[in-house]
Amino acid sequence: MDAKLIRGFTLWELMTSLAVIGILLGIGVPSLMELQRNMAITSAANDLVSALLAARAEAVKRQVPVTVCASPNPLAAAPACSPTGAGTNGGFVVWVDENGNLDGNGAPILTDASDGNAVVDGGETVLIARPAPGGVINVFGDSGYISYGANGFRRDVPGLNVAANDVLYCDDRGNRPAAGNASTARVVRIDALGRGQVLRTVNEITPVVAALGAACP
């Protein structure tokens, strides 16, 4: 009677396999975490650029001021704005900065004190409320808002800092090289017409960090 052939692993093979798996996990898990953090930073910057485009278009369409501001509680009934973006972790709100009062011809009345004041007041319509994308993201800006007039151009709100020019997103990794030529941080630069673009390289972001005096290690 033929003996059955028994197949299996030797102890040495098992230990070698476990060692290889441990090495792969040691390499793969940190890389995955780094990828997730990069995606969160990129998402925060891209979301703001999209919001600026939407706000500008709505201001022209509605012929009233539309404002975007960094907010720590964008989903609240009355979201608060942060003067410099600090403490918002990437959250923001876009709203029609006018309370809907119309004259006899159906045109907006823009003389109310609450109109165009960069504060979410009662009766004003929130268009986009975007919470933080996840992870600890520090936000720094030379201002916490940007507002658009009926002509689609950026406008400064009386009594406040001028509208934002640069918004910096970074975490505890600071502004250092990541994949390719990209940085671990991002900057949204807003031009004179109110259009936003994302700065991605270390060389582009370094002077912005210095100009804002940001704690972006």
Is pLDDT of 29 > 50? Answer: no
Mean pLDDT of 157-170: 95
- For residue 14, name the pLDDT band (cuts at 50, 70, 90): low
Mean pLDDT of 143-158: 95
DSSP the chain: -PPPPP----HHHHHHHHHHHHHHHHHHHHHHHHHHHHHHHHHHHHHHHHHHHHHHHHHHHHTS-EEEEE-S-TTSSS----SSSTT-TT-EEEEE-S---B-TTS-B---STTTTSSS--TTPPEEEEE---SS--EEEES-SEEEE-TTS-EEPPTTSPPPPSEEEEE-TT-S-B-STTEEEEEEEEE-TTS-EEEEEEHHHHHHHHHHHT----
- For residue 19, name the pLDDT band (cuts at 50, 70, 90): low
- For residue 18, name the pLDDT band (cuts at 50, 70, 90): low
Output the pTM of the full model.
0.83
At 6 the pLDDT is 59
Is pLDDT of 69 > 70? Answer: yes
When the pLDDT of each residue in the chain is averaged and rounded to a whole number, the result is: 88
Is pLDDT of 178 > 50? Answer: yes
- For residue 26, name the pLDDT band (cuts at 50, 70, 90): low
CATH class of 11-212: alpha beta
At 22 the pLDDT is 62
Per cent of the chain over pLDDT 90 is 69
Per cent of the chain over pLDDT 70 is 86
Per-domain residue ranges of the chain? 11-212
